[in-house]
Amino acid sequence: MRSRRAALRASVSLAATLPLLTGALAFGIPAAHAADGPGRDRLAGTKPSWATARTDQGATSDSARVSARVYLAGRDAAGLAAYAKAVSDPASASYGKYLNARQAQARFGATKAQVAAVRGWLRAAGLKVTGVTQHYVAVSGDVAAAEKAFGTQLHNYTKGARTYRAPATAASVPDAVKDAVLTITGLDDAPHLASHRDQLPPPETVFRNAGPFSTYHGSNVAKTLPDAYGTKVPYAVKGYTGKQLRAAYGAGKRTGKGVRIAITDAYASPTIAFDAATYARRNGDAAWSTGRLRQVLPAKYTRTKECSAAGWYGEETLDVESAHAVAPGAQITYVGAASCYDEDLLDSLSKIVDKHLADIVSNSWGETEDAQTPDLAAAYDQVFQFGAVEGIGFYYSSGDDGDEVAASGVKQTDIPASSAWVTAVGGTSLAVGKGEKYLWETGWGTQKASLSADGKSWTDFPGAFTSGAGGGTSRTVAEPYWQKGVVPDAPAKANSADGNRVVPDIAAIADPNTGFLVGQTQTLPDGRTQAYDEYRLGGTSLAAPVVAAVQALAQEAAGKPLGFANPAIYARYGSKAYHDVTDDPTGSGLAVARVDFVNGYDATEGLSTSVRSLGKDSSLSAVKGYDDVTGVGTPAGGYVESYRRH
């Protein structure tokens, strides 16, 4: 299951160690299947790491039900990865020579014979085929049939306070279909506790920022509050708007005209069209022309309570409004998933690739790496590779909990951001001054100290860590070639002498204290009335669509799709294309003051006053050059035009 990058609140943003994936598998090529008895091949990665002898509670009942997906390897999995690499590398003679969706499937997709063989095998084992797509065959049946089909025993295992089903050994497939099978998902059921509902709930209770505010950084200094870092600090901005972000990241006259951006999240806001139009009108963005905003939605939604469906409305709203604010000429297609689970999010990504709905895809969701399993990593990477072959780039928020130690107890990155086939977007605190002048950025990391009872000091200044941009070194993905020579050895080799993938790749505004103004219809405190309102949000949920929108501007300049852009992004490292972001750009310490409603929407329960120190991201630091908070930096004035056709 995936979680939103961001939650609808002011100060907090929206939103088992695995075996190392080296060599081909790090780039999504299935590893060689290991022999598993006469006539069968074992699929590495199909047994989760938490299914151990110590946690084994015995065999699962033969009559228990199993739903699984057999992902198809296609005609040439190694060739798919190789072609995806070639068309994405500016140094390659094949750079930019993309295939359309039909050509990609014809060259690399599964054949009818492969699908028929997989279906036949599964049916012969006693499983019911419930769905077939270009990517997988879905089946259901009892445990006995699943064990027969997949050559393993299913046991119950404790995982934390719960018990889940999982294979006792890695699954295997008959030799006759081994070349057709990429991986199998669904044999473990953590945390699949589905409840089905076809109707979405109403929007969540209204959230509002209190104030006072600054309209731009430094416009309203908190003169009556205590000093921080030896000076009076400004109140947090009410929320930056498109004009300020476009100036900060060098949009110039580009609008993203002719470029298609897709956004994926779970569920769908029932008021998104009204909210987006109202927001643009009130905040000086270009009006939405007919057909500029589209939605591609599932036939029904599931797990709405478990996934807190209404909480995703704000995520979609933030993504749509911020992308339009930065790239007002781009077409935006929202592709909603039926739930927040992997299989449904994968289906949304596959829709984009199979129908080539866009060239740039923004994704503000993810989970910690220890929640990932190699089988799912392979399924995701295959979709990303097909996208790369077609000239589609995927952008993922890097996370909102810094190194994740505070939240999970383990220093780790987030997924899918750590895939070697996506662009991971980190976060910054952004200062835009009077006249839309870019002042500075820090790596996003916040420490909070509250105002003392007598109002004369800040308690425990600078306070405790609250949130910050995700980043660090993957434990499971080998170092991609485009990071070599740019990422320093210290982070690259933190988990392996051979080097691993480091996150993020690039960054943009994320800090909720310097965040973006969002407009959304929400439920008022009476629980019955709904109304449009505006509030400030942040998180790498904001950074991802902002970078996706900047990429739309760059694609307009290039006159052609940028595809999987990491090789091109790293090729510009150290140039004037980027702001090189550090944690303390002024050398004196940076902070903003905030006044918030205690109950989140009005003053009936009082106000709270705090100071938020900037550039304090857990154990991660934004330093000169590449770093694991902001990557190569943020787009500067020269970035967009560096892609211009000559």
pLDDT of 526 reads 83
Among 444, 435, 439, smallest CA distance to 538 is for 444
pLDDT of 406 reads 87
Q: Which 3 state secondary structure label does DSSP give 159?
A: strand
Among 376, 317, 321, 384, smallest CA distance to 344 is for 376
pLDDT of 28 reads 37
pLDDT of 71 reads 97
Degrees (nearest 5) of the Cα angle 345, 348, 354? 140
Give the chain's largest Cα–Cα span: 79
pTM value is 0.92
500 φ/ψ angles, rounded to the nearest 5 degrees: -130, 165
Q: Which 3 state secondary structure label does DSSP give 88?
A: helix
Q: Which 3 state secondary structure label does DSSP give 370?
A: helix
Residue with tokens 């279909």: 177
Contacting residues for 528 by C-beta, under 8 A, at least 6 apart: none
pLDDT of 271 reads 95
* Beta carbons of 511 and 538 less than 8 angstroms apart: yes
Partners of 21 in beta bridges: 477
**C-alpha pair distances (Å), 2 with each of 345, 355, 360, 399, 412:** 9, 24, 21, 12, 16
Phi/psi region, residue 455 (left: phi>0; alpha: psi -120 to 50; beta: rest), is: left
The pLDDT tens digits for 336-373 are 999 999 999 999 999 999 999 999 999 999 999 988 88
Instruction: Work out whether the CA dihedral 249, 441, 591, 407 comes out positive or negative.
Output: positive
**C-alpha pair distances (Å), 635 with each of 375, 392, 421, 553:** 35, 20, 20, 11
Q: What is the DSSP letter of 17?
A: P
Domain ranges of the chain: 23-185, 202-643
Q: Which 3 state secondary structure label does DSSP give 317?
A: helix
Which residues does the chain have with pLDDT short of 70? 1-38, 191-202, 646
pLDDT of 199 reads 47
The CATH number of the domain covering residues in 202-643: 3.40.50.200
pLDDT of 33 reads 40
Q: Which 3 state secondary structure label does DSSP give 549?
A: helix
User: How many other C-beta atoms lie within 10 A of the C-beta of residue 257?
Assistant: 13
